[in-house]
Structure 1
Amino acid sequence: MRMRDRASAGRKLAGELTELRAENPIVVGLPRGGVPVAAEIAAALHAPLDIVLVRKIGAPHRPELAVGAVGEDDVTVRNDAVLAELGLTWSDLTAQIEHERVEIDRRARALRPGGPRPSLRDRTVVLVDDGIATGATAVAAIRVLRRLGAARIVLAVPVAPAQALPGLREIADDVVCAMAPRRFVAVGQWYEDFAQVPDQRVRDLLASAAVEHHR
């Protein structure tokens, strides 16, 4: 069953996370596609909304296939199995890795222009994306959040391949996934509308969430 769009997916996920409201969580979206999903969850949980910046490292000529990821705070994650299958080494991707680190710095300045990041120390954090393919980006994000002091991390995604979930459950404290198909090609196949999310939309969602949370 395909989801209508990211907002619809977020509302569906929020219904499975209502018990977290008592933990006073922070909801963190992976830009850009994860933020519209996260915004719906944050609204339902009456929780603040933030972002964590992680960039996927795609295979040459197959950018949709993640061979690893880099994140804030110099976190690096490699998918050694995929690298081996493609006959690649991490050093083969040096130029792309450096490019993505520069992009993380640029986007951090663009999407967080108003001040410091909220503290995650000793907090329950709900990490949200619009879906998972290999899990490399989610793994990098979880490691970033651990370094930032999160006490508990709940990974929430609308869709992920069934075979990816066991590994994710090893590093997240909990995983909530609405759909876990065994036949999986790409995240976009599970959405009717999977249009790209512009940076301005991310800024608008963060600003709106901040206003709502402080009412």
Structure 2
Amino acid sequence: MFRDRQDAAERLAGALAPYAGRHPLILAIPRGAVPMARILAERLGGEFDVVLVRKIGSPFNPEVAVGAVDEAGQVYVAPHAAAHGADAAYLDEEARVQRRLMAARRARYTPARAPIEPAGRTVIVVDDGLATGATMIAALRAVKARHPKELLGAVPVAAAESLAAVRAMGFTCVCLHTPEDFGSVGAYYRAFPQVDDDEVVALLSG
């Protein structure tokens, strides 16, 4: 479906063209979406930064998200969390672990400045795809608490039920492709390399 993240970002920029001229703030969910956010900011005439949220994985399969937590400690618990063995004690402990990791990442990513303030602005939260939607929901909730003027999510590809879950929370989310048999995000990119912390730091300081 997409050659790589750059191709996906260029196509998303076309879909988001109505937001050009509003000086939007593009917030990437690290790490994969950071290169995309930079392209979107350039195409739409805005700024970009990161919104730090972390998936909480299932106790039996860490790749399956049962929730997510933001920097402030607000936890989103997916409806299927209990069915995957994630009780309140597990979620609390995992949230603490992930918050420590986010604090370390924030210190590394933007050591010389505070996060760009979203209050009163048009804000677009971007990721390279939605599998469960948990991290996008957590990110949108975190940004909403900072009182943006306008807020939406944007992804190249999503599982239909995950996109529906985001929208059911009252959020707008622009999505280019919702395949019937989703699989995984990486399956829709011909090239889907890992984005490491060094690349994120370079993009944010560039």
| TM-score interval (norm. to shorter) | over 0.9
| 1:63 equivalent in structure 2 | 62
| 1:140 equivalent in structure 2 | 138
SS class of match (2:81): helix
Superposed CA offset, 1:79-108 (max 9, x none)? 13x223223313234433221110011001
Unpaired runs of 5+ residues, structure 2, are none
Structure 1 stretch displaced more, 86-95 or 149-158: 86-95
Match of 2:111 among 88, 110, 113: 113
Alignment-mate amino acid for residue 50 of structure 2 = I
Work out the CA distance in 1 between the residues paired with 2:37 and 2:168. Answer: 22
Match of 2:129 among 131, 143, 146: 131
Q: Normalized against structure 2, the TM-score is what?
A: 0.94
The alignment-based identity, stated in percent, is 37
Superposed CA offset, 1:140-193 (max 9, x none)? 101110112212112100110112222212335421101111211221111122
| 2:174 equivalent in structure 1 | 176
| 2:35 equivalent in structure 1 | 36
Work out the CA distance in 1 between the residues paired with 2:149 and 2:171. Answer: 9
Alignment-mate amino acid for residue 174 of structure 1 = T
Work out the CA distance in 1 between the residues paired with 2:175 and 2:59. Answer: 29
Work out the CA distance in 1 between the residues paired with 2:85 and 2:152. Answer: 34
Structure 1 stretch displaced more, 198-207 or 85-94: 85-94
**How well do the aligned residues superpose, as a CA RMSD in angstroms?**
1.5
1:59 deviates by 1.1
Shift >6 Å, 4+ stretches: none
How many residue pairs get matched? 206
Work out the CA distance in 1 between the residues paired with 2:84 and 2:171. Answer: 31
Work out the CA distance in 1 between the residues paired with 2:95 and 2:145. Answer: 21
Superposed CA offset, 1:57-81 (max 9, x none)? 011242221000011112110013x
- In the alignment, structure 1 residue 50 sits paired with structure 2 residue 54: no
| 1:7 equivalent in structure 2 | 6
Work out the CA distance in 1 between the residues paired with 2:179 and 2:88. Answer: 29
Match of 2:193 among 192, 195, 200: 195
Work out the CA distance in 1 between the residues paired with 2:29 and 2:170. Answer: 15
| 1:212 equivalent in structure 2 | none
Asked whether the equivalents of residues 25 and 125 of structure 1 are also in contact (C-alpha less than 8 Å), the reply is yes
Q: Normalized against structure 1, the TM-score is what?
A: 0.90
Alignment-mate amino acid for residue 85 of structure 2 = G
1:34 deviates by 1.1
Q: 1:63 to 1:196 in 2, by over 3 A?
A: same
Higher helix proportion (structure 1 or 2): 1
| 1:211 equivalent in structure 2 | none
Unpaired runs of 5+ residues, structure 1, are 209-215
- In the alignment, structure 1 residue 27 sits paired with structure 2 residue 26: yes
| 2:78 equivalent in structure 1 | 79
Work out the CA distance in 1 between the residues paired with 2:38 and 2:85. Answer: 39
Q: 1:172 to 1:37 in 2, by over 3 A?
A: farther
Alignment-mate amino acid for residue 139 of structure 2 = A
Work out the CA distance in 1 between the residues paired with 2:202 and 2:135. Answer: 23
Asked whether the equivalents of residues 142 and 171 of structure 1 are also in contact (C-alpha less than 8 Å), the reply is no
